[in-house]
Amino acid sequence: MFEIKWLILAIALIMYTFVIIFQDKKAWITTGAAILVVILSLVFRENVFTTQTSLSLLVYHFLFELINWNVLMIYVGSMTIAALFIYSKVPAGIADLIVEHSRSAGIAVVLILAMTGIISIFVENVATVLVMAPIALALSKKLKLNPVPFMIGLAVMSNLEGTATLVGDPPSMIFASYAHYNFNDFFIHGGKLSIFFFIQAGMLVGCIFFYCFFCRVKEKTAVEKEKIISYFPLSLLIAMIFGLAGISFLSTELGYGSGCFVFALGIIGLIWYRFNQKKTFNEVKTLVKELDWETIGFLIGIFIVVGAISETGLLDDFASLLARVTSGNRFAGFILILAFSVLISGFVDNVPYIIVMLPVAGSLATSMNVNKELYMFALLLGSCLGGNLTPFGASANVVAMGILKKESHPITFGGFLKLSAPFTLLTTLAGALTLWLVWA
């Protein structure tokens, strides 16, 4: 057991190192690591997955227990709906109304940033930035504003709110799968406020932060209005939200029903796109091809590797180490998880990090006789908001920086940090304080 345990850990560490260095190859890297783990499990099956000694049970364990197909179906379905929502021009239309009815351009900017966060609750972060970026650039040009703060605001606000619900971002889906949370549990769990409201505390502070930054812009401006193509994708988005809420009442766990439902809505959306919008088969194929399939492959590999790490006992060992470091002090444990998550997620993809650390946070809470939610919420909060810290801490940041460079407004690491560091600190503190008051 000892030799195999450390060998699997070595594979995981090498995998993480390569993922950091070669971001564009991350799906291939995690797939390769997963294949190595599978081979080790076949050769030393009694020492890796001790409860699956037969070959057929081991294969079933890999395919249907370690790989969470429900999460993957939710992700694919929600990505499809998000792509159609962007195509419909509804978000751009809403932004036009905000600008038209705002008392000043500065307030309009803040409201657009808030709207970006709200859209990101239900739409993938990168997609949210892509649909809101043209609005931000056009408004900046009319007001003769530097677009850099506006674009950074789009990225960090989308990252902030992506954690609020089950469908906002992959880390939330992974958390729901591990903690057996349904859609409604993100709002109220065990009779207490849940992660949605802690994120809103950060959102409120974030809006105040950006209002202080943009309030000096007093002029009003007119923008060229976008013509809305259709409200049908919006109806799919609403159906997804209320459908997931309804399924949550029927099931105490995130069962396959949630994934099948969201995936089916995505299929309905593609059928509408093909026939109602009179698109060719190749145009439908292009839309599907441009979805984030790399993250799907990435997650499959991660699920297998982290499953092996967990079942060899390495995560329990790490939790015991953290318990000794904090000397059993629950506040010290809370701060350690929160601060470590912010720091790590500022430089490392938060998906593999949160998959590894969720069992550690749970085990640490159990060993210290602390409510599991306190530490798991701290982990989710820190790892998602920490991505706002650096230009490469989250995919949305990378995309925003790429757009700025294309528009001849490149920004340095230090320039990004001047805005992102205080934003990350203030929003994380607001969310963490609310979390501590409710769950400590």
Q: Phi and psi dihedrals of 189, rounded to 5? A: -140, 130
pLDDT at 1: 45
Query: Looking only at Cα atoms, what is the longest distance across the chain?
Result: 71
One-letter identity of residue 61: H
The CA distances from residue 125 to 120, 145, 158, 394, 398, in Å, are: 6, 24, 5, 9, 11
One-letter identity of residue 317: D
If you average pLDDT over residues 90-118, what whole number do you get? 82
The answer to whether the CB of 148 falls within 8 A of the CB of 156 is no
pLDDT at 390: 84
193 pairs with which residues across the strands? 188
DSSP 226: P
Helix axes 69-87 and 293-311, enclosed angle (nearest 10): 160
Q: What percent of the chain has pLDDT over 70?
A: 90
189 pairs with which residues across the strands? 192
Cα 342 versus chain centre, distance: 14
Helix axes 2-21 and 350-367, enclosed angle (nearest 10): 140
pLDDT in tens, 239-293: 887 887 777 666 645 567 778 888 999 999 999 999 999 999 999 999 999 887 8
Residue 415 CB partners (closer than 8 Å, separation 6+): 148
pLDDT at 47: 57
More confident residue, 42 or 118: 118
Q: pTM score, two decimals?
A: 0.73
Please spell the DSSP secondary structure of 122-191, one letter per residue.
TS-HHHHHHHHHHHHHHHHHHHT--HHHHHHHHHHHHHHHTTSSTTS-HHHHHHHHHHT--GGGGTEETT
More confident residue, 320 or 433: 433
Q: How far apart are CA 354 and CA 384, in angstroms?
A: 9
Q: How far apart are CA 127 and CA 90, in angstroms?
A: 14
Q: How far apart are CA 26 and CA 46, in angstroms?
A: 30
Cα 251 versus chain centre, distance: 23
Q: Is the pLDDT of residue 96 over 80?
A: no
pLDDT in tens, 332-360: 889 989 998 898 888 766 777 788 788 88
Task: Give 386's Cβ-side CA count (13 Å radius).
Answer: 25
Q: Phi and psi dihedrals of 193, rounded to 5? A: -60, 140
pLDDT in tens, 196-239: 999 999 999 999 999 998 887 766 666 667 788 999 998 998 88
Nearest 5°: the CA angle 428, 153, 126 is: 95
The answer to whether the CB of 201 falls within 8 A of the CB of 434 is yes
Q: Is the pLDDT of residue 119 over 70?
A: yes
pLDDT at 216: 78
Going 305 to 259 to 75 to 434, the CA torsion angle's sign is: negative
Strands (DSSP E) along 362-440, which ranges? none
If you average pLDDT over residues 143-148, what whole number do you get? 81
More confident residue, 178 or 328: 178
pLDDT at 152: 92
Q: Phi and psi dihedrals of 410, rounded to 5? A: -65, 150
If you average pLDDT over residues 5-13, what whole number do you get? 83
More confident residue, 170 or 230: 230
Q: How far apart are CA 190 and CA 123, in angstroms?
A: 27
pLDDT in tens, 367-420: 788 888 999 999 999 988 988 988 877 778 877 887 888 778 888 888 888 999
Q: Which of 154, 150, 152, 160 is nearest to 128 (CA)?
A: 154
Residue 237 CB partners (closer than 8 Å, separation 6+): 81, 82, 85, 122, 123
Q: How far apart are CA 381 and CA 198, in angstroms?
A: 8
Q: Which pair of tokens denotes residue 318? A: 């790490």
The answer to whether the CB of 345 falls within 8 A of the CB of 382 is yes
pLDDT at 70: 78
Name the helix (H) or strand (E) containing 192.
strand 192-193
Q: Which of 154, 192, 104 is nearest to 438 (CA)?
A: 192
pLDDT at 231: 92
